[in-house]
Every structure is written in structure tokens, then in C-alpha cells.
Amino acid sequence: MNFTIAIDGPAAAGKGTISKAVAKHFGFSHLDTGLLYRAVGAKTLSGVDATEAARSLQAEDLDAPDLRTPQVAQAASKVAVLADVRQALVDFQRAFARRAGGAVLDGRDIGTVICPEAETKLFVTASAEVRAERRYLELEANGLDISRSQVLEDVIERDKRDRERSEAPLRPAQDAVQIDTSVMSIEQAIAAALRAVDAKRKG
């Protein structure tokens, strides 16, 4: 059975949490595509050329330490504007999307570019302030010494770069179900996502 769920949205919208829960619920595999760009971004911080890093990316690169830091997130969004970098990562993501047993992919361009034929597309959003607060709490819990205002700045700057780039800009697919989680708990956001997927599976 091939069934792909594409979950896109701006920075720190809760895509990861929702994707993991949805994948678990249906017994699907999950790919956090942001991690691919973060791994490439991290390599550029140590002087490797971005395209070279994307073309030679290995599974173990996704386990590198510190991929979740705002510095790496910024580096990721900078390499993500490059057509050659995006191109180098396409085949892996498409193969993952169509793997047997079902797949959930979260990112920025899954419903628009990587898998426009996905059976279900969700676009998860929340206000920049709410997203920054959630990300701040997450980073703080992981022991990072960072201020709320720095996190908000990172979120706003990346969103702008991700939306305005010419290659695969961040935007909802025409047929995406939009879920605004600004005033939802995690449980409510997951329930809304599961309802949207169920509606497509039954329809």
C-alpha cells in the first residue's frame, strides 16, 4: 500500500510533533525533511561547499550533534535557497514518500514539489509569536542558552527567506487542508490532523 501524507508549514509550527503522532497512529514511516537541510547547513558551517554536502549526504549525517540549534536552522534555510542543493535531495525524499506501508513527510515543499500526488496534504501554521514561544521552551528544555527574542527573530527571518525564495518556496498546496494551531493544545492539533487524514482515506 502506498499512501503519502505531506505536512508542510512555517518554522516551528509543530509539524514534527504532529507528523510523528500521525505516523505512529497509522503505522507509517516518518521523514523529517528539515533534518536533511539542517545536516547540509551544519556541514557548511564547518567549511564544506553546500552542493557538495548535499550530494554526499549520508544517513549518519542526520545523527550529527547540534542539528536542532538556531544557528544550524539559519544555515539550513540559507542552503535551502540553492537549486542544486534541493535537486540533490529530491530522489531520496520521493523514494521515501512512495515506500510501501505508507509515509509521512514534513517540510516546506512536500505537497507542492516533492510529492504533489500525496493522498493527504496538510499545511500547519500558528502565529509567529506562538511558534517562537513553543520553540523557545523546547530549546530551553534541551539546555540551550538563548533568549525568547532571539528565537522569534530566527523564526521570522527563516519564514521570510523560505517564502520568498524562487526554488520551492514555502506555500500551501492548492488542495492542502490548513490547520492553524495558534490556540490548540498539542493533543487538539494532532486530533485535527488525524481527522483530516481520515476524511481523505474514507473519501
Contact flag: residue 11 with ligand CDP (CB under 6 A)? yes
d(CA 126, CA 9): 9
What is the contact mask toward ligand CDP in residues 51 to 90, using x (rule: CB under 6 A)? ----------------------x--xx--x----------
**β-bridge mates for residue 121, sequence order:** 6
Number of residues binding to ligand CDP, judged by CB under 6 A: 15
With contacts defined by CB under 6 A, name the span among 21-29, 30-38, 50-58, 190-198 that binds ligand CDP.
30-38
The nearest distance, CB 100 to ligand CDP, in angstroms, is 22
Chain position carrying cell 518556496:
169
3-state SS class at 37: helix
Widest Cα–Cα separation across the chain: 49
Contact flag: residue 33 with ligand CDP (CB under 6 A)? yes
Q: DSSP letter for 176, please.
A: P
Contact flag: residue 112 with ligand CDP (CB under 6 A)? no
d(CA 203, CA 197): 10
Contact flag: residue 130 with ligand CDP (CB under 6 A)? no
Contact flag: residue 158 with ligand CDP (CB under 6 A)? yes
For 39, list phi and psi in degrees, rounded to 5.
Answer: -65, -40
For 99, list phi and psi in degrees, rounded to 5.
Answer: -65, 150
With CB under 6 A as the contact rule, the residue among 54, 88, 162, 190 that binds ligand CDP is 162
Q: Contact positions toward ligand CDP, by CB under 6 A?
A: 11-12, 33-34, 37-38, 73, 76-77, 80, 107-109, 158, 162
